[in-house]
Every structure is written in C-alpha cells, then in structure tokens.
Amino acid sequence: MEKEGRQSWDSPTQFFLACVSYAVGLGNVWRFPYLCQMYGGGGFLIPYLIMLAVEGLPLFYMELAIGQKMRLGSIGAWSAISPYLGGVGLASVVTSMYLCLYYNIINAWSFWYFFHSFQSVLPWSDCPINVNRTGPVEECSRTTPTEYFFYRETLNIASSITVNGGVHTGQVLCLLLAWFLTFLFIAKGVKSTGIVVYFTATFPYLVLFIYLIRGLTLHGALTGVSFMFTPKLEHLANPATWINAATQIFFSTGLGFGSLIAFSSYNDYHNNFERQAITVCLINSGTSIFASIVTFAIYGFKATVNFENCLENMRLTLLNAFSLPEDAIDIDNVWDWVTKLNTSYPEQFAQLGINPDDCNLEQELSTAVEGPGLAFIVYSEGIKNMPLPQIWSVLYFFMLLLLGMGSMLGNITAIVTPLRDFKIIARIPCEVFSGLVCVFFLCLGLGFTTPSGNYWFTMFNDYGANFSLLFVVLFEVIIVSYIYGIKRFEKDIEDMLGHRPNWYWKVMWVVVSPLLLIALFIFYIVRYIQGGAATYPAWDMETGKMVTTEYPIFGQVFIALLLVSAVSCVPIMALYELYKRRRVGYQKRPQTISTIST
C-alpha cells in the first residue's frame, strides 16, 4: 500500500461539500417521502430522528475517523488494522461496484427526460398517435401517458426478464454521456472532484427552494403538505416503522460503501471531522424533510387535479344522462346530486356505473409510490399540469441529474481510491485508470438498456447492496470497538482532534449501534427466508399495469450470488492471508538433511 505523495483536498470546505453531495442523493427525494406516507406521516419523524442519533451520526463519525487516521481507502484501512480484515474493505468495493453498475442508468433516464423537456408539448402529456393515425396507441389508452412514456418509450420495457432484445439507442447515448461526465469529474482524483462538488452540492438546494415556492402556490398543495405532517402515532407501535426508519438513515448516509473512508483519507490529519460529521448528517436529514415538503406539495396538486377531474367527469355524466341544464351541477355539489338522483331514479342511476369510491381525495393522497415511479411518473404527472411545464421539467430533471452525479462521485471514488492504494495500480496515470474503470462499467451497464434491463436494475437495486452493507458496517463497528480497541481508537481521535470523543460516541460504538445492526441484519435474513421465491414487477402490455412475477431459476441463482459475493470476501481474504503466512512460515523453516541432499 502506498501513502506517499497522496492527494489532498484543497480545503476542508471541499471535503465537506463532497460528503454533502454524496450523502444527499436520490433517496432523499424519492424514498423518504414514501416512508412518511406509509408509516405515520409526521409521526415517522420520531423514529427517524432517534435512529439518526443512535445509528447515523456515530457510524458516519466512525468511518470518517478511520479514513482520516489511516489515509487509505477501504481495503488498505482495514488491512492496516489487521491483514486478515482486508476482506471487509474488499466487500465494500464489490458492493460499490454493484451500485455503480446500475446507478448511472438512473442518471441516463434523467438525461433522457431532461432532453425531452425542451419540446413545445411534453411527450408524456398525451398518448402518442398509432401508426394508422386513427387515435392514440391502444396500450397507452389502458394506462396513463406518463406511465406509458416511462415504461414503453424510455425503457422500451419487455413483458418479462426472459425476453431478450437489442439495446435502446437513446438510452445508450444517455448512459455514455453519464459515464463521460463521471470520468471528467474524477479524472484527476480529488483535484477535479473538489471543484465539481461546489456545484453538485449546492445547486440542487436552489432548485428545491424554487420548487418549494412554486409548489406551495399550486392549487391543493397545502392539502398535500398537511397530509404529510399530520401524525398518525398508531404507526409507532408497528416494528416495521422503526426498522424502515433505521434502514433509511443507514442507506441515506451512505455507510459501508467505503466512500466516506475514501473521502476522508484525503484530509489533513488534524481536520475537524467530528464537526463535519454532525453537520453533514443534520443537513442530510434536513434535506429529506425539506424535499418531502416539496414532494407533498406536488402530490397535493396532482391529487387535487385528479380528484377534481374525476368530479368533472362525473358531473358531465349526470348532466348528459338526465338532460339537466349545464349550470345545474358544479363540482362542489356533485355528491348532493348523486344522492338525489340515486334516490329519485335508482334504476337509471344504476346503469351509469358511478362508484362513490372513484373520486376520493384521501385515496389519491394515500397512494404510495417510491423510487423511479415517484421521480419519473408522479412528478412528471404533476409537472405536466403546471403552467409553463417545460421550465419546471427542465429544472426538476436537472436537479435529479446533479443529485445522481453527486452520489456517483462518492460511489466511484469508493472503488478507485482503494485500488490506487496498491503500488502496481498507482503507477498508472490517474486519468488512464479512471477512464478504464468508467469504460468497464459502461460496457457492463449496457445490459440495463435492453428491454429486460429494468428487471435487472430492480434485481441489483433490491439485492445488490442492502444485505452486504449491513454485514460490512456491523463488521466495521465490531472491528473498531473490540478488535482494534475502543481505547486505542479514542487515542487516535485525540491525536487528530486534540480531545477524546465523549461518552455518547463511545456508548453508541460499543453497545447501541452494534445491537441495532445485529437486529437489522437478523430482520433482513428472516425476511429473505420468509419471503419465499423472489419476485419482481413486470409490465403487462394487455392491461398497462405492473404485475408481480416470480424470477426464473437463473434469476434466483443470480440473486443468491449477489447476496453472498460481497459477504464472502471477508472469510476468503482472511483464509488467503492465513495461507500466505503459513506458506512463508513453511519456506523459512530449517531444511532437513534429506531435503538438502535432494
């Protein structure tokens, strides 16, 4: 391993912004609002903030301290503690490789939507015309224009993971652009990354602030925000609420990937990472809440528009069916007329097929969507109904790009930094090695641009990181507290900061965080066992809906490989180190007479 001549950040501000840019990502925009919606609205903030204190802050602090002390990437840092522990760092690298494989395809989708936003009419506003030009495409008519554009025109999605096909040319070009920008951002190591983070860490907040002002002025926005922050405290009795709060804190802070260790390894030895760790974690959680206000403002607008459109359709149906004057019914008294007409003309009313549950604002607001569905479908649905939708679309997808690219900087650094710590790789010019890494991932990532690519994306997203990251971070905290030793770790921190960590940090590292990680680890194992065969949502072209489908045998086998590949690095590297030492020991043993004579 090599530390001499190691690069460093030009200032502590660059390191701080790099951590913010990495930690604040797409999960803040598309997962936290979903969890609030599912687990108690404003009441979800209680377990979320508790988990921030007992899990997020101490583990974030710990990884920054390890990187700054060892001044090595994840493999070198854990190997420096014990050669038998290098597998922990390798597991982080493997997990980051899986994440990099599929994460940049999200940026490719953002580019696709961004470029399509510069049109006089947003292409997801209406269904396209069929080839005979006799009406809209039939498949689009069975779903919504926004869903059709995402699944069929953006993804060109197949009906199953077993369906093969060529790549989507547009997506390939967008993916190429995403990896080209990634290369430019990391080409010169932290010298180039440090400049980029000034923009990727700050501009998304400007866009969010603009969206906040615009969102709160939309019709029905306050209804959505009120829905979010109305606490449903009964959810606090549900263990799933606490588990999801802990999981969200864990993944939103980016623990276990090795990115934080890599970033802090470029710090000055006496940099005040303690203050930075606290600030970054608070900014990350604050951003989640801030983004949720924006999201639920858009949600409230979308739900209100859909609700009022439903009432308008019902009003027109009643007017036509009963030959009433145009001004006899408005959307405010539709339900009064429904009750009146149903009572006066029950047989004729029954033929209309009007269901009171068809128009329900509460149900519209309760429809929970996460991930790409929220980012590329729900937001697009809301944007298309805004005045001057092109402006808001350009701003929104540019913000997604910056969030995604900012996180990619951390993900790719978690791979490049520990590999460049090896002398043989350190001899390769930084630009050349970074380029080779980007080309490698670009070639592998082309599979996500095929018709079945979204199903492989789902597989990597569901199984590529969750299990292995919990395993890695559990090992990290056990190594620091019980193998390296908490007393020794305290002295290292005192040497760097001038003071020892207080009782709060030590109690978290030694007791609370390990127990919480063990509980989460057991939960995931039990869930995988009880879940039976793994499933994925597949696009049904007949109905225009996603249907739950079981992975084929090869998919189940690949999932098993994803689950064990990173975790297996720990025992494999330990056994390899043991083998090397025994072999060296055997070769150094005194030779016997028979050996000499031979």
pLDDT band at 465 (very low <50, low <70, confident <90, very high): confident
The percent helix, strand, coil of the chain (3-state, each to 5) is 75, 0, 25
* pLDDT at residue 513 in the model: 93
Quote the longest CA-to-CA distance of the chain.
116
Q: For residues 238 and 216, give the distance between their C-alpha atoms in angstroms, rounded to a whole number.
A: 32
Task: Mean pLDDT check: name the lowest of 225-239, 316-330, 355-369.
Answer: 355-369
Return the minimum-mean-pLDDT range out of 106-110, 152-156, 192-196, 444-448.
192-196
Q: What is the pLDDT of residues 538-597, one digit of tens each?
A: 998 888 888 889 999 999 999 999 989 999 999 999 999 888 888 776 666 554 433 333
pLDDT value at 131 more than 50: yes
Interval 466-495 mean pLDDT: 92
What residue type is assigned to position 590 of the chain? Answer: P
β-bridge pairing 545-550 and 535-540: antiparallel
d(CA 269, CA 286): 29
pLDDT at 594: 37
Q: What is the pLDDT of residue 278?
A: 96
CB under 8 Å to 316, separation ≥6 — which residues?
none
Q: What is the pLDDT of residue 356?
A: 63
Going by C-beta distance under 8 Å and a sequence separation of 6 or more, which residues neighbour residue 222?
216, 297, 300
What average pLDDT does the chain have?
88
Query: Which residues have CB under 8 Å from 250's CB, separation 6+?
Result: 55, 56, 59, 256, 469, 470, 473, 520
- Is pLDDT of 338 > 90? no
Which whole number is the average pLDDT over 329-334? 78
Query: pTM to 2 decimals?
Result: 0.89
Q: In 3-state terms, what secondary structure has residue 136?
A: strand
Digit-coded pLDDT (tens) for 498-518: 999 999 999 999 999 999 999
- pLDDT in the model for residue 229: 82
Q: pLDDT for 66-99, tens place per residue?
A: 999 999 999 999 999 999 999 999 999 999 999 9
Q: How confident is the model at residue 3 (pLDDT cuts 50, 70, 90)?
A: low
